[in-house]
Amino acid sequence: MKYCSECGTKLIEKECEIDGLVPYCPTCKQFRFPMFNSAISTIIFNPTKDKILLIKQYGKDFNVLVAGYIIKGENAKETLIREIKEEVNLNVIDYTYNDNEYYQPSNTLMHNYASCS
Ligand SMILES: [Zn+2]
C-alpha cells in the first residue's frame, strides 16, 4: 500500500510502538495497516454426513465449495449462514470452523467451515 486509502496522499513509514515501521498518512495523521478482503468457504454436509454439496459458478465446468465475501458489518458466521441461504437455499443446522488461509491472487483471507444443512 503506497497511498492513503482515505485521501490518496503518498504514505510514509513511521514508527508505531510495538509494530515497528508502519505506513502512515501525514495528511490524515493515521497509520494505514495492510488491507485485505475476508471471505468464507464451506463444505456442506447432508444431515447424515455421508454426502457433500458442491456448486457450479460463473459458467465454469467444475464444482466448487459455496463461498462468499464477508460484507462490512458482518461476522464470518453470519456470512456462512447468508451465503448458504443465497447460493443453495438451505438453512444451516450446525457448523464447525476448520481453518483459514491467505489467498494472494485476490488478497483475501479465506475462513473455511464444515456445515450441515
Ligand atoms: Zn490520508
CB 77 within 8 A of CB 105: no
DSSP letter, residue 3: B
1-34 fold: Ubiquitin Ligase Nedd4; Chain: W; (2.20.70)
- Amino acid identity, position 104: Q
- Asked if the 37-116 domain carries CATH number 3.90.79.10, the reply is yes
Domain locations in the chain?
1-34, 37-116
CA of 34 to the centre of ligand 1 (A): 14
What are 28's three cell numbers?
490524515
Reading phi first (left if > 0) and then psi (alpha if -120 to 50, else beta), residue 17 is in: left
pLDDT in tens, the chain (117 residues): 799 999 999 999 999 988 899 999 999 999 999 889 999 999 999 999 999 999 998 889 999 999 999 999 999 999 999 999 999 999 999 999 999 999 999 999 999 999 998
CA of 13 to the centre of ligand 1 (A): 13
